[in-house]
């Protein structure tokens, strides 16, 4: 019975609905709160599994771009980066698991390089990669930053505005906190140089 209902849901799946979900939930993936990231990825993962454009677990994920002919139309298969992000965020971070996490980050980077990530998944992936950078374990940062660089280089038109907005928001928050600390520490600056120390 559940198999029949899941097949009916799959037939009714519309990529436009997925885009709406991404627009609603993607910002949560760049949250500094790991629980918010994981819960959001679980929600998205449920709906992403209905996307027939993605490679399933049974298919080989390392092929460049596989095409299946179903009837008269060809359907390109893409990597499921949402599930990879869910694995990364769900895994406890330690010295022993950092290598495995780096491999998953590398898998995302290879998928981006070989154009195996559908454009619909690029904006949420940006937020997901930024979310990985919130992990305090610095051994993951170089691999994650390399992946972020590939994402921006390959899909600049899709993510550049969001990336700049993210950086501007965090820069202004940082400046606000720094300026507040300065105001509390000093009554008045003696020169313009004191404003920037």
Question: CA-to-CA distance for 99 and 97, rounded, in angstroms?
Answer: 6
Q: 134 and 92 share a domain?
A: yes
26, 58: one domain: yes
pLDDT for position 83: 93
Beta strands of the chain (E only): which ranges? 67-70, 73-76
Q: Is the dihedral of CA 53, 59, 64, 70 positive or negative?
A: negative
Residues 165 and 75 occupy one common structural domain:
no
Is 79 in the same domain as 137? yes
Check whether residue 88 and residue 105 sit in a common domain.
yes
Q: pLDDT (tens digit, 9 = 90+) per residue, 9-55?
A: 444 567 777 788 888 888 999 888 999 999 999 999 988 888 777 77
Mark whether 36 and 21 lie in a shared domain. Answer: yes
Same domain, 144 and 185: no
pTM score, two decimals? Answer: 0.73
169 and 75 together in one domain: no
CA distances from 84 to 3, 13, 65, 91, 161 (A): 25, 21, 18, 11, 24
* Residue 121 shares a structural domain with residue 29: yes
CA nearest 115: which of 71, 158, 58? Answer: 158
146 and 172 both lie in a single domain: no
Structural domain of 113: 2-154
Structural domains counted in the chain: 2
Say yes or no: 120 and 63 in one domain: yes
Same domain, 150 and 161: no
CA distance between the termini of the chain: 67
Whether 41 and 85 have beta carbons less than 8 Å apart is answered as yes
Tens of pLDDT along 148-196?
999 999 999 999 998 998 888 877 776 666 566 555 554 555 555 554 5
């Amino acid at each position: 019975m559940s198999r029949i209902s899941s097949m009916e849901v799959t037939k009714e799946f519309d990529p436009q609905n997925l885009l709406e979900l991404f627009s609603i939930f993607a910002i949560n993936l760049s949250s500094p709160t790991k629980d918010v990231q994981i819960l959001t990825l679980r929600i998205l993962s449920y709906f992403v599994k209905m996307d027939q454009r993605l490679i399933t677990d049974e298919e080989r994920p390392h092929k460049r771009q596989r095409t299946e002919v179903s009837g008269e139309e060809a359907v390109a298969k893409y990597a499921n980066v949402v599930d990879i992000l869910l694995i990364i965020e769900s895994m406890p971070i330690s010295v022993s698991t950092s290598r495995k996490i780096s491999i998953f980050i590398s898998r995302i980077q290879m998928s981006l390089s070989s154009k195996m990530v559908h454009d619909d998944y690029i904006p949420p992936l940006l937020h997901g990669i930024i979310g990985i950078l919130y992990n305090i374990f610095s051994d993951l940062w170089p691999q994650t930053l390399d992946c972020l660089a590939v994402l921006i280089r390959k899909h600049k038109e899709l993510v550049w505005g969001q990336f700049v907005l993210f950086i501007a928001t965090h820069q202004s928050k940082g400046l606000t906190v720094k300026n507040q600390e300065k105001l509390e520490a000093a009554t008045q600056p003696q020169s313009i140089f004191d404003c920037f120390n």
